[in-house]
Chain A
């Protein structure tokens, strides 16, 4: 029985961890699906969202949870601007151009953050009291962040599945030429997809600031996990990204618990390699699905 509860705890911790990856990876995957651009700067949107939440809370005395209501629209607009001014230029260009561009944006944002915010860790102490769940005790913020992630994931899924903008995004990723023949302005679709991805990454940043801490390099570290998740789930597949994220989260949690923290750090990539050996296209296809 104890053994069983322990497994439950390891899985739950994995799911909690995976939710953060899911928020990041779903946006990354959507952007890739719609414009075939791998966005190396996606993690920096998480970092900026986290810092914005931290300063809204520490300087503006905004309730940590409410910061998400400010961070997401701000990151949405920031995403629109970055897409229109920079990323749009490399759509349809050789993959090296887009890699260099987004990698460059990533480095610039990270260094600006270091310059203005220093390399200090900034965490928001909030809902730290423990709560019992299925025989183990978790900080309340862990459960809270899982809940918020779940709500956002559900909203994204419904957006893609049921709204006309969501359908336009999926159509564009499956066949941009036919989407144009439907009267869709695919440039606007690319801008909106990128902005939605940035907003989700910003939300992940808020959750990171509440559940642990943010610092300038957090984006470049966590993005590697998100890449593993995206490739695992199938480039462009949102459903795949969500599943892949939870799978990686659980694998990481199990690796840390049963083996060692170091193993936990690399387990995402081990799982990735194993899955790709069996299914080279990832768990799902290579289009924006929901």
Chain B
């Protein structure tokens, strides 16, 4: 299984319930996923038949996954195995079965950690230390000389927008500042693989945009980012490539649109509006792909349910043939959240 192809594991699909009702207004505000850069050939992070138990509880179960340069989202419910997967990749846990490789090296080895920057979801540090002191210490742990560690720490702090505030003790930092410091310590040795656990949590909207811009720039420059997040809207702005975890397994991995295509049992919901709604509705009902049509409450446009991949081509033809002026077209259930709904039977909880 790799991120070139979308793949869906059987267990998650068979038990997936019907999609829940989602606010149309909320959909309308959603920003479409940004394009992620094309994947390079060599995977940076490889899980090979990895299983990990905590006593009698299974953390991850026979996971096989390849993560390549670019941004990959990791989503799933609490207890689905996301954090365990992150910890295995960061070399903080060792699999009972299988192996985890970072750049060809066993992730458990300290040599492999040279290539890994891990930003955990912890909010606690040595509270008396300054942000600058913390980053400098982390840089020294990476093997830099004292002088080099100071330079790298300054640059990393500047990068995350904390250079001016880094002299303050960590105890006085807000949640957003702590997130930035955590990101700085993960970036300080310029790793090939960045593992970010809830990196946008607690950051204000402006800061969030800045962080997302950094992630995109890192990805553009060839860094591999694996981002675990409950904030699916933010994740969608980062990438359309996700790995969905359920019950310790990878339920699906690939581009969101590809995963959605494979969910053939679940019709797509699309909101349409044009200058001649009645004509369009009549033509749509003639199509085999359209399985339902409903007027929107306000009377402007309608919601349709469609199956199959050919619908958009046929719609295109209809619009041209009838010379319709389309005013609105929006797919309502291709978001990460909706796909999670379909796959896992509910949204991830915080």
Whether A associates with B in a native complex is no
> Which B residues contact A (CB, under 8 angstroms)?
none
